[in-house]
């Protein structure tokens, strides 16, 4: 069970209300969450993120627009001074010292997550957030060693993975969530994702969680059940990297077939669990699998 995107610096929050793990004082409260999750028989995972140019925005049910300083907003940073939308705040372009500081913040946050009792880390490099912004030529217009070629654009995520891995126990898994395609001409592509998976496999990343999109607004995507599963399948087949499939995977049978057919190693659920918090129990029944039930629910089992 993973947390929401948890910011590694204050300006790395998507909204002012987001979780954060940029200081030691935040460990204790997050440790309560990890302890509760483990107490229910699951493992607790921490998703670490930096929102980049998509930071300092209102929560979705509050419109999602930019939040001004007088309402708790803050300055944002990005690879290049290009706002996500015309109405959004123009981000400050990171210099190399700023990049190094954020890489270090990821590693510090990973160490805090371990102290809090989390047993898996996922680095959020998807959906138009900072690590994705460096990867995509649509948002990265730099001319230094962090821009231009794919090797340069991938430099920050490679440095981040190495820094986190150096502080995260070798025996515990490290996942990376990516947008496997930008769905826009001239953007990040599935071929690029396979290339990156091969590189990060050499850096002891354990699994690629394959989502898509989010780097520019207004993109028309043809969605349907399992529409992102082929990205996970390519990563698994062509890069030899274990992969996670996401996106409109709703039924237990559908999820089971994704794994059984070898398209992905795991299925990652989010919205479906919001729709149905009892999805694991319903899935077990649908597939004829016996799983432990909470003792308070035994009378509802049959």
Q: How confident is the model at residue 109 (pLDDT cuts 50, 70, 90)?
A: very high
pLDDT in tens, 198-249: 999 999 999 999 999 999 999 999 999 999 999 999 999 999 999 999 999 9
The answer, yes or no, to whether residue 281 has pLDDT greater than 80, is yes
pTM of the prediction? 0.96
- Which one of the listed residues 106, 129, 253, 297 is annotated catalytic? 129
Domains with residue ranges and CATH for the chain: 6-272 (3.20.20.70)
Long-range contacts of 287-291 (CB under 8 A, 24+ apart): 287/252, 287/253, 287/256
Residue carrying the six token digits 């809090």: 116
pLDDT in tens, 150-207: 999 999 999 999 999 999 999 999 999 999 999 999 999 999 999 999 999 999 999 9
The residue among 46, 222, 58, 56 whose CA lies nearest residue 122 is: 46
146 is catalytic: no
Which residues, listed in sequence order, are joined to residue 121 by a DSSP beta bridge? 46, 174
């Amino acid at each position: 069970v993973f947390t929401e995107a948890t910011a590694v610096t204050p300006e790395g929050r998507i909204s002012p209300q987001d979780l954060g793990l940029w200081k030691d004082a935040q460990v204790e409260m997050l440790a309560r969450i990890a302890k509760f999750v483990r107490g229910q028989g699951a493992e607790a995972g921490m998703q670490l993120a930096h929102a980049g140019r998509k930071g300092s925005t209102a929560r979705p049910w509050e419109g999602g627009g930019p939040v001004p300083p007088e309402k708790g907003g803050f300055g944002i940073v990005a690879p290049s001074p290009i706002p996500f939308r015309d109405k959004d705040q123009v981000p400050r372009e990171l210099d190399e010292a700023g990049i190094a500081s954020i890489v270090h913040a990821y590693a510090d946050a990973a160490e805090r997550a371990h102290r809090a009792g989390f047993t898996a880390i996922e680095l959020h490099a998807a959906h138009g957030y900072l690590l994705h912004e460096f990867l995509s030529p649509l948002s990265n217009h730099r001319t230094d060693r962090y821009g231009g070629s794919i090797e340069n654009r991938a430099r920050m995520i490679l440095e981040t993975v190495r820094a986190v891995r150096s502080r995260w126990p070798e025996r515990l898994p490290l996942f990376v969530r990516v947008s496997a395609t930008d769905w826009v001409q001239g953007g990040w592509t599935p071929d690029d994702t396979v290339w990156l998976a091969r590189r990060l496999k050499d850096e002891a990343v354990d699994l690629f969680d394959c989502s898509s999109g989010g780097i520019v607004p207004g993109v028309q995507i043809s969605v349907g059940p399992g529409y992102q599963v082929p990205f996970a399948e390519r990563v698994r087949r062509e890069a030899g990297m274990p992969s996670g499939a996401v996106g409109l995977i709703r039924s237990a049978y559908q999820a089971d077939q994704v794994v059984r057919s070898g398209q992905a190693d795991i299925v990652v659920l989010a919205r479906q669990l919001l729709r149905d918090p009892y999805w694991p129990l319903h899935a077990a029944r649908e597939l004829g699998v016996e799983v432990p039930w909470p003792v308070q629910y035994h009378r509802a089992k049959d």
